[in-house]
Structure 1
Amino acid sequence: MPSIFSRVARLFAFNAEAAENPGTMPARLMPARREAEVTAERALTLSTLYRGIQIHATSVSQLSIDVERNGVVLPETPALALKPDVDETRSAFLEYTVNSLYLDGNAFWRVTRGPLGEVINLSVLNPAEVTVEVVYDAAGLATKRYWWRGKPLGARDVRHLQLLRIPGVARGLGPIQAAQIEVRGALDARDYGALWLSDANLPDGILSTDQELAPGDADKYRNVWYGRNPDGTERDDAAERNITERLRVLGKGLNYTPLLLKPSDIQFLETQQYTTIQMARLIGAPASIMLVAVEGNSQTYANVEQEWIGYVRFGLMKPLREIEDALSELLPGRQRAKFNVDALLRTDTKTRYEAHGLSLDPQRGWATVDEVRAIEQMAPLTDAQRAELEARRPTKTTNTEQEAPTNA
Structure 2
Amino acid sequence: MRITTIPLSLDKLLEGQMRFMSENGFEVYMVSENGNNVDKLVKREGCPHYVVPMTRTISPWRDFISLYKMIKLIKRIKPDIIHTHTAKAGIIGMLGALLTRTSIRMHTVAGLPLIEAKGMKKALLVFVEKLTYDCATFIYPNSFRLKDYLIKHGYTDEKKAKVIGRGSSNGINTDYFNLTDDLISKAAALRVEHGIGKTDLVFIFIGRVVRDKGINELISVFKTLTDKHSHIRLLLVGPFEDELNPVDKEVKKIIEKHSAVIHVGYKDDVRPYVAASDVLVFPSYREGFPNVPMQCACLNLPCIVTDINGCNEIIEDGINGLVIPSKDENSLRVAMERMITDEEFRLACSVVAREKITANYSRENIWEELLNEYRLLLGKKGKRQFINERIL
TM surpasses 0.5? no
Greater relative contact order structure (CA < 8 Å, 6+ sep): 1
- TM-score normalised by length of structure 2: 0.29
- TM-score normalised by length of structure 1: 0.28
Pair member with larger Rg: 1
